[in-house]
Structure 1
Amino acid sequence: MTMTPVTDLCDLHEDKLVYGSLRVLAPVFRSFGKRAAFAGPASTLKVFEDNGLVRAALEEQGAGRVLVIDGGGSLRCALVGGNLGKLAEENGWEGILVNGCVRDTRELAECNVGIHALAVHPRKSIKKNAGQREVGVQMPGAYIQSGEWIYADEDGVLVSQDKLV
C-alpha cells in the first residue's frame, strides 16, 4: 500500500488540524514491524498489563484495520510479541499501535505489518482477558474512537475523523 507521508497529510489538511478533526499523537512511538508506514480504520482496545484481548482481536480478520491498544502507557511488560505480530500479518491487519511495550523485536521486524509502540520490554503480560473493546481510548496526544483513521510512518502518527485522500 502506497501511503501519502504524514508530513504531507498535515500540509494538505492544515484546516483539519486547526479544527481538531485531524490530530497528531505525541512523538513517543517507535516502529518495530517490517512496514514503518501504515494506515487504516482504528479498532480499539483498553487493557492494562493483560494481552488476552489483544490475541482475541488479532485472531479475527483485520480487513485492513489498525489495532489501537491503550495499555495505559505501562512499561512493566509487553502487550505484543512475535507470535501476535505474525498473527496480525496472517489475518490481514494493517498495523498495531501500542500505548505500551512490545517484545521479540527481531521477530516483529520480520512481520509484514506496521507496529508502533512506546518501548521494548522482555517480560510477557498476564492473560486474564480483562479490558474493553471498541471504546474510546486516550493515547499520548489524542483521544481515539473506533472507526477513526490512523496514519503512521517514520515521522509520526495521525488520527483523522475521516479517511484522508
Structure 2
Amino acid sequence: MPFCTADLLDANEARLADGSLRVATPLFRNFGGRNKFMGRITTLSTFEDNSRVREILAESGAGRVLVIDGKASLRRALLGDQLADLARCNAWEGVVINGCIRDSAVIARVDLGVRALATHPRKTEKNGLGERDLPLNFADVEFIPGEWLYADEDGILVSAAALT
C-alpha cells in the first residue's frame, strides 16, 4: 500500500488523543535501501548483544517490522550488512533500532527499511541475551507487538490498528 505518514496522520489525527496513534520523536536516521516501510511490530529488548536479532531475522518477516530497543547505546552496532541481507532474504519490511548499525554503505543498497540512531563500526557481544515481544518505550512512543508501524522520510507512526 502506498502511503505518506503526513497524510495518514492528517486522516487519523483524532486518534492521537486516545493514544491509539502515536508519533515517534524524530531521532532516527534512514540507512536502508527502502525509504518507506510498514508492517506489524515484533519487538526485542537487548543491550550490546545482537544474538537474538539474528535469531528473529532468520524467521519469515513478511508483513513485519522488527523494533529493537538497544537502550540507545552508541558503543556497538546491533545490525550489520549480513543481518540486513538476512532480513531482506526473509522478507522483513524493516528494522527500527534504538541504537547503532554498521556497514551503512552496504545497507543503503539493501531493499530493507532501516532506521537507527547512528553508525558504529564495533560489533556486539554474542551472549544470547534479549527479551522478545514485550512492549518497548523509546522516542516518546510505546511500541506494542502486533500493532502497526509506518515509516517514511517524514517520520514514524505507531498505530493500534491498520491505517487508511
Q: Does the TM-score normalized on the shorter chain lie above 0.5?
A: yes
TM-score (norm. length: structure 2):
0.98
Which residue is 1:131 aligned to?
130
Which residue is 1:151 aligned to?
150
RMSD: 0.8
Task: Report Cα offsets for 1:109-135 as digits up to 9, x if no partner.
Answer: 111010000111111111111010111
Which residue is 2:24 aligned to?
25
**Aligned-partner Cα distance in 2 for 1:158–1:126:** 31
Which residue is 1:78 aligned to?
77
> Contact 1:3 / 1:39 at 8 angstroms: preserved in 2?
no
Which residue is 1:36 aligned to?
35
**Aligned-partner Cα distance in 1 for 2:43–2:75:** 21
**Aligned-partner Cα distance in 2 for 1:135–1:45:** 7
> Contact 1:65 / 1:95 at 8 angstroms: preserved in 2?
yes
Q: Which runs of 5+ in 1 are unaligned?
A: none
Please state whether the residue corresponding to 2:137 is helix, strand or coil.
Answer: strand
The amino acid that maps onto 1:151 is: Y
TM-score (norm. length: structure 1):
0.97
Q: How many Å apart are 1:11 and its aligned residue?
A: 0.4
Q: How many Å apart are 1:47 and its aligned residue?
A: 0.3
The amino acid that maps onto 1:133 is: R
**Aligned-partner Cα distance in 1 for 2:2–2:74:** 30
**Aligned-partner Cα distance in 2 for 1:138–1:15:** 22
Which residue is 2:58 aligned to?
59
The amino acid that maps onto 2:58 is: E
Q: Which runs of 5+ in 2 are unaligned?
A: none
The amino acid that maps onto 1:125 is: T
Please state whether the residue corresponding to 1:128 is helix, strand or coil.
Answer: coil
Q: How many Å apart are 1:22 and its aligned residue?
A: 0.4
Please state whether the residue corresponding to 1:127 is helix, strand or coil.
Answer: coil
**Aligned-partner Cα distance in 2 for 1:146–1:10:** 21
Q: Percent identity?
A: 49
